[in-house]
Copies of this chain bind each other. A is one copy, B any other.
Amino acid sequence: MGKKQPDSCGLGPALEVISGKWKALLLWQVHKAPARFGELKRLVPDISEKMLIQQLREMEADGIVHREVFPEVPPRVEYSITEFGIELDNALIPLARWGKQHAGRTDGQRPGKASALAPRGL
């Protein structure tokens, strides 16, 4: 970090925020509607509880999702998208369109990939 490079285009922070295996998927789920922990678990069946909570916490720290505890019985925790998250979502639309338009050129070509990242159905 000695010399500040003139090429700070903002992509770094942005990519960091969504580049978890499940983050985009989770962002999209809470974008559709607020959801509670167990609900998200059901919506994204292949995620483990550890990963679910971990990614949610990071997204919370990054300000794109909001976590609210309702002191009821049984306890209820709801995750919802923030304004900040909605803007991110919108910024992702062109990228999604790009991926959709040219689907098939990249996907399925590399056999050894596509297992760790991009679970499926993005």
Copies in the complex: 2
Chain A residues numbered 58-73 whose CB sits less than 8 Å from any CB in chain B: 58, 61-63
B105–A62 touching, CB < 8 Å: yes
A113–B16 touching, CB < 8 Å: yes
User: Looking at chain A, what size class is its interface with the partner chain?
Assistant: 35 or more
- Say if the beta carbon of A110 comes within 8 Å of chain B: yes
- Say if the beta carbon of A118 comes within 8 Å of chain B: yes
B-binding residues in A (CB < 8 A): 1, 4-5, 7-19, 24, 28, 58, 61-63, 84, 87-88, 90-103, 105-107, 109-110, 113-114, 117-122
- List 16 other contacts, CB 8 Å, given A8-B122, A15-B95: A5-B120, A10-B96, A10-B98, A10-B101, A10-B122, A11-B122, A12-B120, A14-B96, A16-B106, A17-B99, A63-B102, A90-B94, A91-B97, A91-B98, A94-B95, A95-B95
